[in-house]
Each structure stands twice: as C-alpha cells, then as structure tokens.
A and B are shown apart, each in its own frame.
Chain A
Amino acid sequence: MYPSRFRYEAPRSLDEAIGTLRDGGDYAKILAGGQSLVPMMKLRFASPELIVDINNVPGLDYHRADADGTLRVGALTRHADLEWSPLLKASQPTMAAAAPMIADPLVRNRGTLVGSLCHADPQGDWAAVMISLGASVVAQGPRGRRAIPVADFVTGPFENALEHDEIAVEAVVPPAQGTRAGGYLKLERRVGDFATCGVAVALEISAAGEVIRAGIGLTGVGGATINATQAAAALSGKALTPEAIEAAAELTAQAAQPRTDHRGSAEYKRHMVRTFAARILGAAAPGGTGPATTTERAA
C-alpha cells in the first residue's frame, strides 16, 4: 500500500494525545484499531497529514459493569475482547450477538467498538447495536468531558459529533430495567463482509413478560444508521405476542430506507429487515430460542 506522506505521533497519555490533536488541527486523525482508517489511506480516500496513534495510551483497554449495571467500553477495547467476553454473554445479548459478526477474526483482533462508532459507516454494525441500547459516547477534549447519545453522535455517513481536538474515550450503555433480551441478525455475502442489512433489537422485559423498553437499530439500509423509533415504541408495554411481533417487524421494515444496488434490490433488503426483526423478536418471545445471531448458520 502506498498512502500519501503523513506524520506519525504515538503519545503516551490522554492529555498528550489531546494536545497533539489540538496542535494538528483539521488534518490530524486518531488511529485506534486502524481497520477503517488504514484501508482508506491505502486507497487514498483519506490523506491525513498527522496520525495520532492512541494505542500506547494507558487505561483505555477495558470493558466493565458498574454496580448499577452501567456498561463501559474503553476506546482500546477490541471487537475480539467483546466477542469472547463472559460479561457480555451473561448480560448483553444484543452486543454478544453482534460482536462475532463483525468482519473476520483478523480485523476483530485490532478494530475497536469506539473506533467503529467514530467512523460512522452506515454499514458498521456497532452503531445500530448501540443505538438500540440507548448508549452514549464519552468525548474528552481540552474543554473537559461530555457524553453524547450515539443517536446524536452519528451525524451522517462517516460523520460524527466530535470536535477536532476531542477523543472518544468510552462508550456507555445504561443499565437495564428488567431482563435484557434481543439479538442481532446480519445478512452478509460471506464472512468478513459488511452488512447487506442488519437488525439490532434490544429489549428490557418485565417479570410479567411485558416489554419495558425496546430499541431497534438498522445497519446498511440508509444513508446513516437508522433508529427505528416507531417500531420500538410500538412494542413498549406489550407482551411479545405474534401480533405484536408482526406489527413491530412491519414498522421496522418501514423505517428502512434501502437502495437497490449490487447487494440486492431495495425490495429484498426491506423484506430481510422485516424477516430479521420478526426472527429476533420471535426468538425473544416465550418459547423462543433465545438471543438471535447469524453466526451459527454456516457452522
């Protein structure tokens, strides 16, 4: 690969990294896992003048639950850490379902969840998952820290809400009321492919079997990650009956804005969004098969 010429800095602390970014101005870029940035540089779609590699910054490589159940994922936590995490397996069905479906094992060993949110690719899986969970990104800059809901953080295709001297330090998932359920289903043409479409459903279910809170995020079927708020709202307060599922799946399909391209017709993609939403909800319903994920399919 022959990218354009660039300068490279590897700061040893967060403050130093923020300072380097500030001095670098608009043409500085953070390097986390490098799994999106480096390919873009290779193709010369991105030609940053300064690379600020945060891989030597201590204290960013963690994911843990606070006492109240709040989940925190640090900026250097790799997809693979989440894929193999017992914590997620036990408490975050939607995230646990999505992690193994991102890219391939090589990419998962390097790429980060926070980097994926920052990259804001409409075909990136984490944004849909984090939107469904009502998660936020914590940004830190010279003016201090602030939390931005992921739904506002992703401002467009490949655009986020960070200032040029801010670093996203962690992603935060609020605690659940009731029991978590849900899943992530993704249609890919083969392993390592981006989503033709993906549906993330996050549910919080009461002891009586009613949906206390629902979130639905869609990957790859719009100019940016889609937050299917109406479909989610339609579930709230309801039991997961076949009728409720069908209605919510239909609303989810309506929220999608797919385009016909080499991955399939708009009609097909909308059909798949509907199918996936119904399958995830069906699996979460009483008598269902549990958290839905696509990875077992080819096994």
Chain B
Amino acid sequence: MTSKALDEIKIGGLGSSRKRVEDDRFIRGKGNYLDDVTLPGMLHMEILRSPLPHARIKSIDTSKAWEIPGVHLVMTGEMMATRNLAWMPTLSYDTQAVLATDKVRFQGQEVACVIADDPYIAKDACEAIEVDYEPLPVIINPEQAQADGAPIIRDDKDGQASNVIYDWEVGDQAATGRAFAQADVVSKLELHYPRSHPSPIECCGSVADFNRATSKLTVYMTTQAPHIIRAAVAMVAELPEHLIRIVSPDIGGGFGNKVPVYPGYVMSILASILLERPVKWIEDKTGNLISTGFARDVYLKGEMALRRDGKILAVRMHTDADHGAFFSDAQPSKFKIGLMHSAFAAYDIPAAHLTARGVYTNKAPGGVAYRCSFRVTEAMFFQERMIQEAANDLGMDQAAFRRINFVADHDFPHRTPFGFLTDSGQYAKCLDVGLKAIDYDKFREEQKEARKRGRLLGLGISTMTEPLGAGNSREYDILGIKMFDSADLKVHMTGKALLRTGAKSQGQGHETTWAQIVAHELGIPAADVTVEEGDTDTAPFGMGTYASRSTPVAGAAVAMVSRKIRAKARKLAAHLLEVSEEDIEWELGRFYVRSAPGRGVTIQECAMAAYSNMPDGMEPGLENTAYYDPPNLTWPFAVYIATVEVDPVTGVWDVLKMVAVDDCGVRINPMIVEGQIMGGLTEAYAMASMQFITFDADGNCVGSNYMDYLLPSAWETPGFELHSEVVTPCPHHPLGAKGIGECAAVGGPAAFVNAVMDALGGTGVRNIDMPLLPDRVWEALTNRHDVSGAPPIRQD
C-alpha cells in the first residue's frame, strides 16, 4: 500500500459510522410515502369490513351506496367472482378471500369496497351498504379449533374435514426417544407466544394506475418486495409482466407487515382497470391492526432430557400454530412451521424432535416474520425459556448450564440437532462479556440480600444464534422463485455512481450502507454513490427486504458487482499506465504499477477512460450487474441479560439494567448496527411487557387501535448497554458480515421474561405468558400458579 491510498473511514467506507443520508429528507418531512402520491384524476377507495368474526353472508345490498353523489364503483365478492378474483392464492399455497362471498371468517375481513371522488364520500358510502349476516360459532384458539363438533371454518375447500391445516415434523424421533429414556431429569414447559402485530406507523396502501392507451399498469405500493408483487400480479391478474410496474416509494416501517399481498391491493388494481383512472387505497390504523399480517400466536409443549451433570441429551417440542382464517404465512421456506427448528442451534444437543400442527381459527390471517426470519422469534424464545427452567430443575447456575452445552468455538461448521449448519461463533466469550457487564456475581449477592428484606430482584439471560439471510436457493423460494438477490452498479464517467438493488429499505438505511460497500470495494467516496431501490422498471430483479436478508444477500451482491467493476477498471488502468494487468496493484481508490508505486491512476480516471479512452476491442462503459445466491444463512450470536425488580404488592416490574452483546461479524456501519439493536431491544421489551393482540370469547379483536395495542414510549423503555467486543466474521459472506436487524427482537424477550421469572423464584411459578402485565404477575405471586395468556381474555 502506498501513501496515496484513501483513508477508508474518511470516504465513508466499511466501519464508518456515517450518518444516514436518507434521514435528511425524513426529518425535514420531505419523504415521499405512498400517501404523498397524488395522480391526476385519482379516485379513493375505502373498504367495508366485517364486524363479526364468523358469519354467513345472507345478502349484501349496495343500492344506497351507489346513490351517493361522487361514488364511482361499489365492489362486492360476488362481482369479483365474475372475474375470478373473489379469491387469491396465498404465499403458503392456500387461498384467501379478496372480498367475502360465502362467509366472513374473521372480524375485520373485507366485505365490500367503494371507490369515490374523495375518501369521506367513500366512507359514507361504505356505511350505506347493508349486509345481512347469520352469525356462526366462533373459534379463537387451537383447542377450540380441534374440539369435537367444532364448526369447519374453511368449508369452501373441498375435502377440508377439520380445522387442521398441516401436521409437520422434523428431527430424529427414535434417537430422541432413546435419549429421554436415559435422562436423569426431564424438564417440561408449556407456554403461549402471544399474537402480535408489526404495526408500522405507515399503514398499507396502494395507488393503482392503469393506462388504457399504453395498456400499462403502474402500482405504487407499500411493499417490502416489489418484484415478488410484480410476479404475483402477473400470475393472479393474468396481466403481461412487462406491462406491470410496481413502485415502492419511501416506506414508513415494514417489520414484515409489508411482505404479503393484501386484498386491498388487488381491489385497487381491479378498480383502476375498470374505471381507467388512478385509485388510491390507504388503510386506517384499525384496518391495519385487525386485518393485515400478524405474527406469532404459537403454543409450545417442550421437554428436555437432562443428565445430572448438566448435559442436555435431547429436546422434544410440539407446537400448535394459530394461523387465522387463511393459511397465508408470508414465508419463503419449505418448512410448514418456518424456521422453528432453528431452535437450540447454539447448543450441542445430540437428538431432537419437533412436531408442528397448524390450525384455522376465526382470526386475521397472514402470519408474517415480524422482525425475524419466519418463526425464529418463537424458536429462540421457547429455547431460552426451556433452558432457564431446565437449569432450575437441575439446581444449576444459569450461566454455567449454558456454558456446558454451548457449541464450542472449534466445532464449526456445526450441524444443529434439527439439521441446520451453523457457520461460526464464539459463544462462551460473548457470554463472559455479558456477565462482566452486568456484574453477575455481585448481582446474585444483592439479589439474596434483597430477598431477605422482601424485595424481589431477578436476572434473566438469553443466548442464541439464529439463521439470517434467506436463502440459499436450494431451500428457500417464494412461489418457486429462488431466494437470491441482486445489485446493479453504473459508474459514470466522472467517477460518480448509481447503485440499484433488488432489496427495499424500510428504515434499514440501505442508501447509506450500500454506498459504504461500494466505497470499500472501489474507493469511490460513499457521498458520490446514489442508491435507488423499489422500482421494478429500473431495479434489478430481487426478492426484497425482510428476514435480515439485505446485508447477507443484496449487500453481498453489492460487493460482488463492485468487484466486477474493479476487474474491468484494472484493465483500463493497465491501458492507461501502459503496463500489463499482472503488473498492477490495487489499493483503496487507486491502481499503481508494482515496480513504480508512484505511477498510478485513480478509480475516477479509470471511469473516465471507460467512456473516452478504452483500449481497442473493449466494450465501452463501466456498468455491471451481480446476482448473489448465498451458500448458507449467516449465523450471528447474541447474549442479552436483563435485571429487574418486581413490586410484590402490585406486580409492576421495572428493568434495572439491560446489556446486549451482539456478534454479527463485520459491521459495515456500526452506528446503524447499534440503531438496529436498540430498536430490536425496544420491541423485545414491548413483547415482554405490553404489546399483544388478543380476543374475547366472541372473537372481538382487543388491540385494534393504539389505545389498546400498546407500544412502549421512550418513557417506559429502559436504557440498553451495547457491547461489540466480539467479532466473528462470517466465513462465507464476501465482507464477513452477518444479519443483525432482528437479533435483539428475537433474543431479547426471553431475557426480560427470564428475569421476572427469576425474581419469582421459590414461589413454584414456572411460567407467566407474555406480556408480563402487572395483573398477571400479581396473580402468579398471590395464587402461586402459572398464568396463561391464551385467548379468550377473561371478562365479567
């Protein structure tokens, strides 16, 4: 390297905590979100939703709605059916009603829609629609769904004789059985991971614009995966793919909620085609919370076979998943229960067996991976709750028990008990950093002392590795499309660049980090790189952003395309320096002659030459595209430790301290990584303390607006102490990076719950379901029994 190499941090390269470039427009209120899109002649759509969770539709009378001035179109399921659009296929190979025809199957289901001059008129007209319902018995949990004589929710499906959607299993049943037969202790735990909703601040919506003159359909849409939507629209609406353009503008949060295809999108598209005018649909908050993709809602029966000395011999899990009225999980794996079997990946366990059942209920459909790879959140929560109870059953220290069972540093790649292959990690080292940060031994002393005075202190540990960055394409696809991703880089003649990827930022900061990767690979200052995503007419084909896959997959593609550009630039440099390619060295931003390091050309000079002075026979220009199919998922590791104090009189608990040790490999922008961890921990605290959607016995959704769907504010959210001392680069990612967007939301909840349960140690209480609302904690403390949070809620 010469003294002329650029300073990587100064040009905003790898490792630079560069400020997020997108924030400038967001903070100034200059973002361009879906609701900012206004087209000439645009009409507005409102949806009429079912007030009942399960009812036969006897009749729908729309005549009064049609009479209201300003109404252009009223659509019902019957009308959609004439175009074969009353039902649509789901990403999980089931069907979902676009507008109900025969029955409504959950509260909030789409029954009709109105397109009018403005949204006020459309709403008035929705209220003028008369629907005659015949109520049916309601099912709101798996137990009811499987009870004798339960009504069949999906009587629309031939051969569907029960409410069971699937039975699925993985692992080695026989080996697991043998291990349990040899166990000294069997530790058991049953619990429910409550239903929640990703609840982005911006709701879902679309502006569909069909142009009869050009036959082109342009749809602005709140989607995390525009190319998949284009493919889905082509298939569902039978439109030619080259005449469909999906534009995903700035997105006000996604968290998985904006992956699925929603009925509203389909209705707005059909309405625009019928009316030949742009049609805007944007949900209100209640519509978003009660009808769009929820998360979790899984019941666990877990068992662990243990040897007296602390070794885990085997794990047995059964899960019951409540999928709602349609099986429309937005997940890309071939596994019915997603990546549930990533559980226990951090532990060296000889045998494991998982059985999973999915059922229909009268609740909103569309399980989404809320800030996680599908079902990983449940998997890691179940794992860490089971680990804590197992250590307690053995009378062992929580940290010591984990250390005995961790996969050792020299054991990678490691085959997990359910068959995944983890790539790398230094688990024990991370745990040590966490224990030191929380001052483990001292806290245990304080805890004992406090107990004597009637104060309840607790400490909870959560340690986990999780699979991030779908695919590889062998095991992961959506509707058959393989889970690769892409980047397209155009270096202009002045050395400035335009980068486009198939991912789609919704707050992750792609405009900032992608430019940093280009800066790292090419020495083009990050400030000279524009990043664009989300328009299927310009972006290369990609699978979108969710499951922490952007950096592992699209980010890798950015590195690979930059390397392709560098390879061509090297040829240009050789030409400019009049030496052979082999005699040239690269350093950040510059090629030079090995034997005369002072003679060199910058990447910008190469770019100029690509348009003005290329060697004979070379194609002009400096542009390229890369598609990246990852060899494996990336496996970050995390340690979260929380300490809490529980008020024994009221059941209210407060977090005393929370430390997070994240090893996500190489950090491209450390500030953004820390932001992701902070956000994830906040959501973890939310899950543990207050955020959930439940139902009463009549199937009414409790949590349909922000007065009842509780998100913690800055006031309640505790402070977090973050640690980044341990860095294990990913062995198969071009930059050594691993996913990080979701680790804290996945691993965090167990730390808080384990801490509260630890505070209740000695009371005989094994479990309180999340969220740990004060009344549940009080009930457990007062009555000395477990508290279930499964629906229905109790009511007078």
Interface set of A (CB-CB < 8 Å, partner B): 1-5, 44, 104, 187, 189-194, 196, 259-266, 268, 271-272, 275, 297-298
Contacts and interface: CB of A to CB of B under 8 A. Distances in A.
Given A104-B713, A275-B649, A275-B650, A262 B707 contact: no
Nearest to A47: B127
A189 B650 contact: no
Contacts of B649: 275
B738 to A, nearest CB: 33
Contacts of B715: 190-191, 298
Contact of B124 (A4, A262, A297): A4
A56 to B, nearest CB: 25
B654 interface: yes
Given A187-B774, A266-B796, 17 more contacts: A2-B119, A2-B122, A4-B124, A189-B690, A189-B710, A190-B710, A192-B713, A193-B710, A259-B795, A260-B794, A260-B795, A260-B796, A261-B794, A263-B775, A268-B775, A271-B778, A298-B654
Contact of A265 (B119, B652, B716, B775): B775
A189 B715 CA distance: 12
Given A2-B120, A4-B124, A191-B716, A264 B654 contact: no
9 contacts: A1-B284, A2-B119, A2-B120, A190-B713, A262-B696, A262-B702, A262-B793, A272-B650, A298-B716
A16 B554 CA distance: 65
B775 to A, nearest CB: 3
Q: Nearest 4 CB-CB pairs, A to B?
A: A264-B775, A268-B775, A259-B796, A191-B715
A4 B694 CA distance: 30
Interface string B314-332: 0000000000000000000
A264 B773 contact: yes
Contacts of B694: 262
Interface of B: 46, 119-120, 122-124, 127, 284, 649-652, 654, 690, 694, 696, 702, 707-708, 710-713, 715-716, 773-775, 778-779, 793-796
Given A194-B707, A260-B795, A261-B793, A187 B713 contact: no
A193 B796 contact: no
A95 B370 CA distance: 42
A187 to B, nearest CB: 7
Contacts of B702: 262
Contacts of A264: 773-775
A261 B795 contact: yes
Which of B127, B702, B775 is packed against the most chain A CB atoms within 10 Å? B775
A1 B705 CA distance: 13
B530 to A, nearest CB: 37
Contacts of A275: 649-650
A262 B796 contact: no
Contacts of A262: 694, 696, 702, 708, 793, 795
A191 B713 contact: yes
Contacts of A191: 713, 715-716
Contacts of B46: 2
Contacts of B774: 187, 264
Nearest to B778: A268
Given A260-B795, A261-B795, A190 B716 contact: yes
A44 B793 CA distance: 26
A104 B712 CA distance: 12
Contacts of B122: 2
A31 to B, nearest CB: 19
B712 A261 contact: no
A2 to B, nearest CB: 4
A266 B794 CA distance: 10
B643 to A, nearest CB: 16
A193 B794 contact: no
Nearest to B712: A190
A275 to B, nearest CB: 6
B569 to A, nearest CB: 54
A261 B795 CA distance: 5
Which of A1, A104, A297, A298 is packed against the most chain B CB atoms within 10 Å? A298
A104 B694 CA distance: 25
Nearest to A5: B120
A4 B119 CA distance: 11
A76 to B, nearest CB: 25
Contacts of B708: 262
B114 to A, nearest CB: 12
Contacts of A263: 775
Contact of B690 (A190, A194, A260, A268): A190
A4 B123 CA distance: 8
A132 to B, nearest CB: 21
Nearest to A299: B715
Nearest to A268: B775
A189 to B, nearest CB: 5
Contacts of B712: 190
A189 B773 contact: yes
A189 B796 CA distance: 20
Contacts of B710: 189-190, 193
A265 B794 contact: yes
A36 B120 CA distance: 21
Nearest to A2: B123
B650 A187 contact: yes
A195 to B, nearest CB: 12
Contacts of B652: 187, 297
B175 to A, nearest CB: 44
Contacts of A190: 690, 710-713, 715-716
B249 to A, nearest CB: 22
